[in-house]
Structure 1
Amino acid sequence: MARLVALYKTPKDVVAFDRYYVSTHIPLAKAIPGLRKYEISDGGVHSPGGASGYHLVATLYFDSVADIQAALASPEGRATAADLGNFADGGVELMLFETREV
């Protein structure tokens, strides 16, 4: 299994971000080929010391990093990536990695 984790930094307008993310960005991302599961954080994103600079964490599940890379290169993946500029004005970090159970 592999994951793509999107760490969204706090936007200028949290309400507008949330509304756009749910109504527009999630449907785009759910169309990405090879996506197995999609989770988002619910409520605030905190660090052990308290508040963090992040507003939302999205975790997308795929079979492999190669599948993530292919998905991002697809028309649906490119459309989803291009959409980030429409709402993620605080910035976003994307992490790709394989996982194993221990």
Structure 2
Amino acid sequence: MAKFVVLYKTPKDKTAFDRYYAATHIPLAKKLPGLRKYDISDGGVHGPGGETGYHLVATLDFDSLSAIKAALASPEGQAAAGDLANFADGGVELLFFDTKEV
């Protein structure tokens, strides 16, 4: 199993971000080949010290790291990546890695 984690920093307009993300970006991301599961944070993103500079966290599950890389290189992945500039004006961090159960 592998995870693709997307950390969206706080945008200038949270309402506009949320509206665009739900209506446009989620449908694009759900087309990624090999996607097994896709979930997002619900409500604020907090750390031990309280609120963070993040507005939303998306976690996408794939079978392997190579499956994530193939998905990102696909036309669907390119479309989703290209869409980030349309709404993620606060910045975004992309992390992907293999996982193992412990």
- TM-score when normalising by structure 2: 0.99
- Give 1:41-52 correspondences, 5 Å limit: 41-52=41-52
Consecutive unaligned residues in structure 2, runs of 5 or more? none
- SS of equivalent residue, structure 1 residue 34: coil
- SS of equivalent residue, structure 2 residue 3: strand
Q: CA RMSD in A?
A: 0.3
Sequence identity percentage: 75
- What residue is the counterpart of 1:58 in the other structure? 58
- What residue is the counterpart of 1:70 in the other structure? 70
- Give 1:31-42 correspondences, 5 Å limit: 31-42=31-42
- Alpha-carbon distance in 2 for matches of 1:69, 1:12: 30
- Alpha-carbon distance in 1 for matches of 2:31, 2:96: 18
Consecutive unaligned residues in structure 1, runs of 5 or more? none
What is the letter of the counterpart of residue 83 of structure 1? D
- Alpha-carbon distance in 1 for matches of 2:20, 2:42: 16
* Stretches (4+) displaced over 3 A: none
Compute the displacement of 1:76 (Å).
0.2
Aligned positions, number: 102
- Alpha-carbon distance in 2 for matches of 1:7, 1:31: 19
- SS of equivalent residue, structure 1 residue 89: coil
